[in-house]
Structure 1
């Protein structure tokens, strides 16, 4: 009799566990992550959007290495201007270290797919990621590498720019033509990690005293024809969620 009870009890527990797993699966969906260097990555700095000091740039590759990619459901919304850790009711992470090429890996919308996770339904209104140094291969020791050609007044320079700076971006909700991150049960939603290259090189079509241009490096510091430069990106606000602001922590 006791043996029968134990078998029945064990069967019931198994059924409950299976039902719970099926319920959780039914209430989840697929959350996709994309990186975007925008048209300045895929098309370059071309007229009228030259660098702040008047150079045309075309990129052959822009490599970034990312880890700790995490999406959040936050209430109240995360305030990136205040910074600090993100407090969330729901958190999901994309495992692994991901090295992407924002030029060659991009689709017609300049998007590079990073990966996807199964996630509970809801509105993912914050995202964070770390730019980390690659551990192996020709990119080892660098978190961002830009290669290409620069041209101005008949001068042509092939450039290689390397950054070994590591930092974490923490961003509020994506800001753009459409809101992102709304994941319905059984559905698919996406989030975007955006890289604003004009915060590195500036823009000639914006006023010289624009805050971005004041901080941006331009291309002139790299124009003497040397093949390889270490580039310092600290204080340059590259990471965004669309046009949404991100707090940055340097490591």
Structure 2
């Protein structure tokens, strides 16, 4: 057979080309139809927490959100507590070098009110908390801040059933005790002072009445966040170093430059004993020392401030 005889007939070649073109056309149509029905992947919702962290100012860490509690979410137990801090429970050295140990420190409080303030109350600005929710313990309480040892819990004044929510303000009245060891006085301090071999057993009574209105607790942990069927607490804190100063602080520290120390009281002692009721203090302290004593603001909420009114 010659080479010319092996070539296909030109009609057959033409038919083969037409068949290939037709097949390609069919394939293209199928592919295009499939593309029209291919599902489109949706992007996942953005991670809002990561986005917030990414937009935080350079050099800062994002802080946890303020806890929120539904004010209409039921009720819980709100504890009202008082605290004289380590100065009262453990004793301390005054600005003028006296070692003070307290046996009892009685304070009398009345009409203690806790608020869900909005906006948050600013004690330095004064006024009254704006709150749609508040609860009041409308009794009078005399508590001993020196009760218990150095590891004792703060003093429980009372417990109230209260709507759940964020209690961020508190107020109370400082009033004279009607009876008991602090009768007639708002504050009674009983203890011992020692310096350079001299010992004075003292009872000092103060009678200044006031209303203390305070903002949010300032300390190591938040207070007043009450959830339904749970317990939270608020604290009335008293800083007695504002009267006596703090021997562990520098002499020119503000806590000492404005303090009386114990010397003015020691000068009134007789035979190692000092019993000074309010009338005695007014009569025998110098006018300057007495006025300074009257102006001392002991009430705080942790390290947070209170507004004092009479």
Bucket of the pairwise TM-score, normalised by the shorter protein: 0.7 to 0.9
Decide which of 152, 156, 163 is 1:120's aligned counterpart. Answer: 163
Q: Look up the SS of the partner of 2:120 in the other structure.
A: coil
Decide which of 49, 57, 60 is 2:103's aligned counterpart. Answer: 60
What residue number does 2:151 align with? 108
Distance 1:65 1:149, change over 3 A: same
Structure with the largest fraction of strand: 1
Decide which of 56, 69, 91 is 1:44's aligned counterpart. Answer: 91
Distance in structure 1 (CA, Å) of the matches to 2:158 and 2:149 = 14
What residue number does 1:35 align with? 82
> Which stretch of the first structure deviates more once superposed, 177-186 or 130-139?
130-139
Distance 1:107 1:27, change over 3 A: farther
Distance in structure 2 (CA, Å) of the matches to 1:212 and 1:84 = 26
Residue-by-residue CA offset, 1:174-220 (whole Å, 9 max, x unaligned): 01100000000111100010011111100122222322222211100
Q: Look up the SS of the partner of 1:185 in the other structure.
A: coil
Q: Quick check: 2:242–2:298 contact (8 Å CA) kept in 1?
A: yes
Q: Matches of residues 21-170 of structure 1 in structure 2 within 5 Å?
A: 27-45=74-92, 50-104=93-147, 108-170=151-213
What residue number does 2:25 align with? none
Structure with the largest fraction of helix: 2
What residue number does 2:22 align with? none
Which structure has more RCO (C-alpha within 8 Å, separation ≥ 6)? Answer: 1
What residue number does 2:249 align with? 206
Distance in structure 2 (CA, Å) of the matches to 1:107 and 1:77 = 33
- How many residues align structurally? 223
Distance in structure 2 (CA, Å) of the matches to 1:142 and 1:159 = 15
Give the aligned CA root-mean-square deviation in angstroms.
1.8
What residue number does 2:239 align with? 196
Distance in structure 1 (CA, Å) of the matches to 2:247 and 2:213 = 29
Unaligned runs of 5+ in 2: 1-70, 282-289
What residue number does 1:238 align with? 298
Decide which of 246, 256, 264 is 1:221's aligned counterpart. Answer: 264
What residue number does 2:35 align with? none
Unaligned runs of 5+ in 1: 1-23
Distance in structure 2 (CA, Å) of the matches to 1:214 and 1:228 = 26
TM-score, normalisation: structure 2: 0.68
Residue-by-residue CA offset, 1:194-248 (whole Å, 9 max, x unaligned): 0111111001222223222222111001113242123554221210001111111
Distance in structure 1 (CA, Å) of the matches to 2:203 and 2:85 = 20
Distance 1:151 1:107, change over 3 A: closer
Cα shift at 1:105: 5.4
